[in-house]
Amino acid sequence: MALPRVIMILCLLFLCLVNWVGESKNLKIMIDGNIYTLLYEPRKVKFSDLDILKIMFHSNQIKHCGNSVICYLLKMSALDAQQLNYVVRHIDITYNKPLKYENIYKIIGGVTNYGNTSMQITLYGVGTDETTKTGSEAENGDHENGDNKMGINLLHDMTSNEKNRKKQKKIDKLLNQMGDENEIININDNLFQETEFQKKCINYFTVIYTLVKIDDKGHKSIIDEAFKQEHKTIDVEKLKHLVNIFC
């Protein structure tokens, strides 16, 4: 059996995990007059929910992201699993911040590059920092009027976190109410802009998938220009901008 076909079968086997990680959404996002297809997985995965025997290895994140990529491609190509016509050529994962046992993250990404027969999809494993200062952290500052300062800081942090959670719930509600994933979201909406500046996103890891399109015989196939125009490549900085909004 040809190697590409083996890889494709392995990709199909990953589909059995889709119910566990939750189905990805393909969001149509408008930025600066251009429309991009954003991969957005709404479910937040707790690191401690992963296989404890492999918790120190990157296989869990690769598996998680792999499921998201499969859903993303199937929806973009309007194909079923048996017709999936992309195979993985290379996977590059970079950890930007150590994942701790209690950390929670979700997957956001998009197409960042095309070749004649290949494409790159960049994914980010991101979470939000909703921690508040503890008493010991407050004591490291100025001890003068320490009790009052600590109380004010804690109240400010708790109020800020509550506002962030409410805004995130509004975004989640908006996305859940969308009847059609092809509905275009204008990122200049005040709700999205306010959310970006009032949240602190944490990028735990970045995964870049290099995929190759193949035909029925396993040979490389040209990616149609129409497909490239419908699902435009997004600049990495713009993608990070979206990550900061939806994290």
State the CATH number of the domain containing residue 216: 3.10.129.10
Domain membership flag for residue 71: yes
* pLDDT averages per 10-residue partition of the chain, 247 residues: 47 45 76 92 68 53 77 77 77 82 85 96 85 40 52 54 65 67 79 69 91 90 93 94 87
pTM: 0.74
In a domain, 106, yes or no: yes
Q: Spell out where the chain has E strands.
A: 25-31, 34-40, 45-46, 86-95, 104-114, 118-128, 184-186, 201-213
State the pLDDT at residue 120. Answer: 96
The structural domain count of the chain equals 1
User: 190-198 and 236-246 are packed helices; what angle lies between their axes, rounded to 10 degrees?
Assistant: 90
How far apart, in whole angstroms, are the C-alpha atoms of residue 133 and residue 155? 10
4 occurs within a structural domain: no
Dist. CA 129–CA 209, nearest whole Å: 27
41 found inside a domain: yes
**CA dihedral of 51, 55, 59, 65, whole degrees rounded to 10:** 80
Residue 50 lies in a domain: yes
Could you give the CA distance from residue 243 to residue 88 in angstroms, rounded to a whole number?
A: 24
Going from the C-alpha of 57 to that of each of 15, 95, 101, the distances in angstroms are 21, 11, 13
**Residue 59 domain flag:** yes
Residue 241: strand, helix, or coil: helix
Helix (H, G, I), strand (E, B) or coil at 239: helix
51 domain residue, yes or no: yes
From CA 225, how far away is CA 237, in angstroms rounded?
24
In a domain, 139, yes or no: no
Per the structure, the complete domain to which residue 59 belongs is given by 23-129+156-246
